[in-house]
Amino acid sequence: MGNDDPGGKHRILMVSDFFYPNFGGVENHIYYLSQCLLNLGHKVVVATHAYGNRSGVRYMTGGLKVYYVPWRPFVMQNTFPTLYGLLPIIRTILIRERITVVHGHQAFSTFCHESLMHARTMGYKVVFTDHSLYGFADIGSIHMNKVLQFTLADVTQAICVSHTSKENTVLRSGLPPEKVFVIPNAVDTSMFTPAVDRPRTLEEIVIVVISRLVYRKGVDLLVEVIPEVCQLHPNVRFIVGGDGAKRVRLEEMREKHSLQDRVEMLGAVPHAQVRSVLISGHIFLNSSLTEAFCIAILEAASCGLLTVSTRVGGVPEVLPDDMVVLAEPDPSDMVYAIQKAIYMLPKIDPQDMHNRMRELYDWNDVAKRTEIVYDRALKCSNQNLLERLSRYLVCGAWAGKLFCLVMIVGYLFWQLLELWQPADDIEEVLDFTLPHNHEDEILENAQ
């Protein structure tokens, strides 16, 4: 499929199970990237599954069109894998919106994997962004890596959010490194600003934790670190925002060590209220055991907080050395890092840190770099079915043959749909355009 828009503008379909009204790093990434791509003059459409009673077509800020496909989440906001169930819907969206590039997000998204598979069957260029790191030893990672190998066998280009994530993705999927670009996440610094209306005092030091309270986020480390820090520094207290299966462990720790007045548990924090929690603290603590990038660190730094984080995944690539203290995922090393951060606090200027973050991480820059990936994807030549099947065949003695069978059946199903409802019979929609004064207002806000 060629780019039929004047001026080399793209028509992009973002696909993932993870989008608003659900909140998280992937959801924010898709939204902000889409808004900046719209500002650059591209057409952007999002396709995701239904959320509650949110089904059908909705419009968001800047004319961002969202298809909430009437599929219900099966587990952890993922739709049930159907292989071919999405094909008729995705085909209709692609034709109606005259899409030129399909951009999938997150390796855990079933909706993403199926959409990319069907888009390649139909001859569209596809780009995949991996937002996570996975291992190689446990059962879940082994299965996930095989699924990723299948999806990426015929992907046009791929994007990772850090160099560590790129190495991980290349190893897991067998994708040629020259096909993988590194484009980091960013932060909306206009939303995360330091508190200028209150003086910064170090009489009481507040350490903030905002995270999903699950094993992967290192809650078991926090259970050991918090009591020791409280014992060493009587003027330190903790604010913990977030919810999850491990929340009960933190509450048990608080009861055991009688720290109810020094460890405040907020529960789940809506994204709109994250800044108000961050600006009440001095240090942001990230205890993740695995992390491809960690947007939460960017948000905290933009609010002027000094970060203490585990040295895992792509985290060491995120902030300059004077903005973060890194530690091994070990309780004693983390306590030492927190002590080091406390001694560094008098030298920290929140406004200066915010200004530096505004220059380092900008969604407009991310959008322009992603635009280059789209340009490169459209220059790649299309291949016929037999040439594409050869890519799947090398994925394993049995898996390769199974992948080929899946693609052949998908191709036949697509041909059947072409006979039943020719593409010419599917009405193309008119593009949504904002009045000029609204466009100017959005551009000003973005700058």
Please give the structure tokens belonging to residue 177.
Answer: 């490194």
Residue 386 pLDDT greater than 90, yes or no: no
Q: What is the pLDDT of residue 301?
A: 94
The CATH code belonging to domain 205-360 is 3.40.50.2000
Each domain of the chain, given as residue ranges in start order, spans 6-186+363-446, 205-360
Whole-prediction pTM value?
0.84
Average pLDDT rounded to a whole number, residues 350-367: 92
What is the per-residue pLDDT across 159-218, written as a single tens digit (0 to 9) for each?
998 898 899 888 877 788 999 999 998 988 889 999 876 666 778 999 999 988 988 899
Domain range 6-186+363-446, CATH architecture: 3-Layer(aba) Sandwich (3.40)
Lowest mean pLDDT among 141-150, 151-160, 321-330, 361-370: 141-150
Q: Residue 197: CB partners within 8 Å, gap ≥ 6?
A: none
**Residue 349 three-state SS:** coil
Q: What is the pLDDT of residue 11?
A: 95
Residue 436 pLDDT greater than 80, yes or no: no
Q: What is the pLDDT of residue 435?
A: 52
**Residue 155 three-state SS:** coil
pLDDT above 70 coverage of the chain, percent:
92
pLDDT above 90 coverage of the chain, percent:
54
Under the banding of pLDDT at 50, 70 and 90, the label for residue 298 is very high
Can 6-186+363-446 and 205-360 be said to share one CATH topology? yes
Q: Residue 37: CB partners within 8 Å, gap ≥ 6?
A: 10, 12, 44, 367, 370, 371
The sign one gets for the Cα dihedral 310, 166, 364, 317 is positive
Helix axis angle, 399-420 to 87-96, nearest 10°? 60
Residue 437 pLDDT greater than 80, yes or no: no
Strand (E) positions, 333-389? none
Could you report how far apart the first and last alpha carbons of the chain are, in Å? 33
Please give the structure tokens belonging to residue 167.
Answer: 């190495």
Whole-number Å distance between alpha carbons of 39 and 372: 15
One-letter-per-residue 3-state SS of 47-88: EEECECCECEEEEEHHHEEEEEECCCEEECCEECCCCCCCHH
What is the per-residue pLDDT across 45-103, written as a single tens digit (0 to 9) for each?
999 999 988 999 999 988 899 999 998 888 777 788 888 999 999 999 999 999 999 99
**Residue 237 three-state SS:** strand
What is the per-residue pLDDT across 99-123, written as a single tens digit (0 to 9) for each?
999 999 988 888 999 999 999 999 8
For residue 208, give Cα distances in angstroms to 64, 109, 126, 357, 442: 34, 30, 39, 19, 32
Q: What is the pLDDT of residue 136?
A: 59
Cβ pair 3, 378 in contact under 8 A:
yes
